[in-house]
Structure 1
Amino acid sequence: MALNEPLNRKLRMALVGGGAGSFIGRVHSIAACLDNRAVLTAGALSSNPERAKSSAPDYGIADSRAYGSYEAMLDGESKLPEDERIDFVSIATPNHTHFEVARAAVEAGFNVVCDKPMTFDLAQAESLLETVQNSDVVFAVSHNYTGYPLVRQAREMILSGELGEINAIRSQYIQGWLRTQLEAEDQKQAAWRTDPAKSGAAGAFGDIATHAYNLGRYMTGVLPDSVSCHLKAFVEGRKLDDYGTAVIRYENGALGTVTASQISHGRENDLEIEIDGTKGSLRWRQENPNELIYRQNGKAHQIYTRDPNAEYMTGSGAGACRLPSGHPEAFFEAFANVYTAAFDAMAKRAAGEKIDQRDTIYPNVYDGVEGMYFIQQCVNSSADNAAWLPLKHAAARK
């Protein structure tokens, strides 16, 4: 099969953010290029023009395509011939900048892969959704945990009815790296994540609870109805939450919980989800991502391992694998699966075919809106003594 058929070439990538000290920018560049379907061609790697250009050699970006700002990049790339200009923009910047960059890229006609949470607040998310709807671009949101093979395996199993009716969804994302006030030491990653002016109204809940919530929605398809939430900052002087728990009522009568912590000693990136159905239960843990546990009363527990050639693997589960069984696949590969699914749509769009912006295997702008609504309602609920608030957002419904 030709590369990105029918284009028969690599897609040209531009990166916004990712300069010195960035974690997620490097992840985006590696994930996008992992399958040899894209090449990092241009970038505006920092809000500081000098730092933006000085960071370009770290990524192999030519001086002529190293821009001092995203505005200059979009303007310069738009003026290039079609066979030279970028195909998509990846946004790997703090939350408060996502909206302006994404909107400008969409309005310029470029596809977008945006880091989560999609915007600074819900109003921006709703405005961005309208902008995307009025375009024909591919818009993906990097909820990368949806790209793990056994997450997609579980999704197909659940949607095909193997678990029966879903009764409960328990998800958590537990970290410990913010146990001390790192932001006071000017640690870059801590500084912007704990700053309301850059991170938004939520801290840990905006940063990692959104992943836990999105994973439950992605795997089950069950629609939320209402939420009650407690958020708290345990570290003295911290302006945003570093711990919280939400209880969710779903439309089908199921109950769910989402817990997020960034102050639990010794915990690293423990994203875990358990789903209970009338026929069986599933458990998946990100720190052991190549195993999925399936349980039924009175029967031996089953452990599904990541094996693209096994008869028990579903189509999307096997399709998300790159290596034979026993060779672990994890974070970068899952991230790349979000990209490669978006690339399929980008190639179709470039060939003049109509694309579906809503019903996609990769998280999209509608998922981004739902994530921002979840954050807003959790913050508002917590501020009102964990009052029950609606969690139905009409525009984000799938």
Structure 2
Amino acid sequence: MAENGARRIRLGMVGGGTGAFIGAVHRIAARIDGDYELVAGALSSNPETAMESGKNLRLAEDRIYTSYEDMAAKESARPDGIEAVAIVTPNHVHFGPAKTFLEAGIHVICDKPVTSTLEDARALAEVQPKNGAKFLLTHNYTGFPLVRQARELVASGALGKLRVVQVEYPQEWLTEATDPDNKQAAWRTDPKRSGAGGAIGDIGTHAYNLARFVTGLTTEAVSADLQSFVPGRELDDNVHILLRFEGGARGMLWASQVAVGNENGLQLRVYGDKGGLEWRQDNPNYMWFTEFGKPKQLLTRGGSISAPPAASMNVRIPAGHPEGYLEAFATLYSQFAQVIRGEGDDVAPLLPSLADGIEGLEFIMAAVASSKADGKWTRLSDV
């Protein structure tokens, strides 16, 4: 991290202007470990909002842009130009900026899902980045220390042969019809901006990525039931999906934005023939691990039970002091900084990639196709 003497990486941002939720999250995450300095931005497609937002962030006026194309061209030509860019726009404005900046030799940090369509995701994989520019997809839940410890437990064989994976992500915030003035809700329920999936694309892909990251299992096929419970809503707001994994394990995924009483209830349970584990995002510093025939063990972030390197390398404060969502996000930023500096060989395999983004879109499209076919088992390889 920069606090250990490493130089700060010059960062730009596309999207994330005034009133945007996720842009502020990315900026906080980039600052936590001191690895980045935000120096440029195309913060809105509205020129007035772009200029106002840039001034509020104290960017130099000549580095406040009204289009990402202009930003990429001018920053790549500057000797002090940005080295990385964070793309925090609605889904349909991921592909263009990602392609443009990669081709300009600028590293890309992109919010999920990687694009709004599978075709665009696959096209992005064909881009030849200039000067070896790298790509990070911010599936931030993979940055929690105990999620990484869960991954290490599975990989070590502590759970034995995996049998059952259950993951869920319930929320309530879209229980009623969308308020047109709520920008966050408006674009997420609009297929032109969000893509083919509603809840499945917004939070279902997070749940799916978490399950895949921890278990390492490869998905063969899905059987899905996608519903739009709110009258007039064009995209799903509740999804139930059965998963078949290679090797015989089975899974269940539930994601909902109409589950009254739930704020952000992401949780994962994994069971093998030797043991099981349970983790919740709203209490992320604790995880239950049970070996068959033995009492449950409560594992804590930075606790007395020694954690593997992947889980301990990003523990910032002593056990008992909670770390959460922002710190997990910051871990991805900090470790991507190591990759950019050429020092991240040990962390690169832990960071969500473009390939993960493509699989996330394959998962969405397979689930949509399955639901339209009344839950027919649909292989990810067939979409």
TM-score bracket, normalised by the shorter chain, equals over 0.9
Shifted more, 337-346 versus 208-217: the winner is 337-346
2:237 maps to which of 235, 238, 242: 242
Structure 1 Cα separation of the partners of residues 101 and 222 of structure 2: 34
SS at match of 1:198: helix
- The 1-side partners of 2:380 and 2:2 are apart by 44
Distance 2:166 2:182 in 1: 32
SS state of the match for residue 196, structure 2? coil
- TM-score of the pair, normalised by structure 1: 0.92
Could you say which residue in structure 2 is the equivalent of 1:78? 76
Partner SS for 1:248? strand
Instruction: Say whether residues 1:382 and 2:371 are aligned partners.
Output: yes
SS of equivalent to 1:50: helix
Q: Which residue of 2 aligns with 1:187?
A: 182
Match in the other structure for 2:221: 226
Separation in 2 of the partners of 1:172 and 1:212? Answer: 6
Tell me the residue number matched to 1:154: 150
Gaps of 5+ in 1: 350-354
Provide the rounded CA distance (Å) in 2 between the counterparts of 1:213 and 1:46.
30
Provide the C-alpha distance between the structure 1 equivalents of 2:46 and 2:2, rounded to a whole number of angstroms: 39
Q: Deviations over 1:166-216 (max 9, x none)?
A: 111100000000000124x33100000000000001100000000000001
Residue 197 of structure 1 aligns with an amino acid whose one-letter code is K
User: Which TM-score applies when normalising by structure 2?
Assistant: 0.96
Shift of 1:323: 0.6
Q: Is the 8 A contact 1:232 1:241 kept in 2?
A: yes
Q: How big is the shift at 1:337?
A: 0.8
How far apart are residue 135 of structure 1 and its match? 6.4
For residue 133 of structure 1, report the CA deviation from its aligned partner: 6.8
- Give the alignment partner of residue 52 of structure 1, picking from 32, 50, 63: 50
Q: How does 1:340-351 map to 2 (within 5 A)?
A: 340-348=334-342
What letter matches 2:153 in structure 1? M
1:372 and 2:361 matched = yes
CA contact (8 A) 1:45 1:52 kept: yes
Aligned-pair CA distance for 1:393: 8.0
Counterpart in the other structure of 1:331: 325
Distance 1:236 1:132 in 2: 44
The CA deviation string for residues 353-384 of structure 1, in whole angstroms up to 9 with x for no partner, is xx87x962110111011001101111111111
Q: Deviations 1:93-141 (Å, cap 9, x if unpaired)?
A: 0000100010001011100010000001111001111215786221000
Among 39, 42, 54, the residue aligned to 1:41: 39
> For 2:255, which of 243, 260, 264 is the aligned residue?
260
Evaluate the alpha carbon distance shift between residue 101 and residue 2 of structure 1 in structure 2; reply closer, same or farther with a 3 A threshold. closer
Contact 1:16 1:44 in 2 (8 A): yes
3-state SS in 2 of match to 1:55: helix
Deviates more, 1:169-178 or 1:125-134: 125-134
Whichever residue aligns with residue 206 of structure 2, its letter is H
Aligned residues with identical type, % of pairs: 46
Structure 2 residue aligned with 1:205: 200
Which stretch shifts more, 294-303 or 171-180? 294-303
- Work out the CA distance in 2 between the residues paired with 1:383 and 1:34: 44
Give the conservation status (yes or no) of the 8 Å contact 2:102–2:129. Answer: no
Match of 1:303 in 2: 298
Secondary structure, in 3 states, of the residue corresponding to 1:90?
strand
| Count of aligned pairs between the two proteins | 383
Structure 2 Cα separation of the partners of residues 196 and 205 of structure 1 = 12
Cα distance in 2 for partners of 1:62, 1:268 equals: 38
Distance in 2 (CA, whole Å) between partners of 1:58 and 1:115 is: 22
